[in-house]
């Protein structure tokens, strides 16, 4: 099983307007893309996403790990002490937390 770190980091929050203002006005990150429930900032070399999310199980930033097979990665991580926080499957949120408290999204590139 191989995992690669993605340059994407998400900040789930129930205060998206305040978060958007902080990252734009205080830290000076330019907005790259704006949608009703997600804002992407250019925080070079990272892409920082502020996502509207009211799930109390999601705390802190969410890193993203790239995998070849999202379902196989899930099983591998469950066998090694990780827990599922939210699972929407291929193309959706696949949030897991490791035994040390880090939350990450597993992402499999869609084959075209």
pTM here is 0.86
What would the pLDDT profile of 4-18 be if each residue is shown by its tens digit? 999 999 999 999 999
- Prior bond of 54 cis (ω within 30°): no
Q: Pairing state of beta strands 94-97 and 103-108?
A: antiparallel
Mapped onto helix, strand or coil, the DSSP state of residue 7 is strand
Where residue 36 falls among pLDDT bands split at 50, 70, 90?
A: very high
The helix (run of H) or strand (run of E) holding residue 41 is strand 38-43
């Amino acid at each position: 099983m191989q995992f690669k770190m993605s340059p994407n980091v998400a900040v789930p929050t129930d205060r998206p307007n305040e978060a958007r203002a902080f990252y734009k006005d205080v830290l000076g990150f330019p907005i790259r893309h704006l949608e009703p429930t997600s804002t992407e900032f250019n925080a070079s070399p990272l892409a920082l996403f502020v996502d509207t999310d009211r799930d109390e199980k999601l705390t802190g930033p969410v890193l993203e790990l790239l995998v070849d097979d999202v379902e196989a990665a899930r099983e591998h991580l469950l066998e090694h002490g990780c827990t599922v926080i939210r699972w929407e499957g291929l193309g959706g949120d696949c949030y897991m937390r490791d035994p040390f408290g880090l939350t990450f999204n597993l992402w499999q590139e869609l084959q075209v």
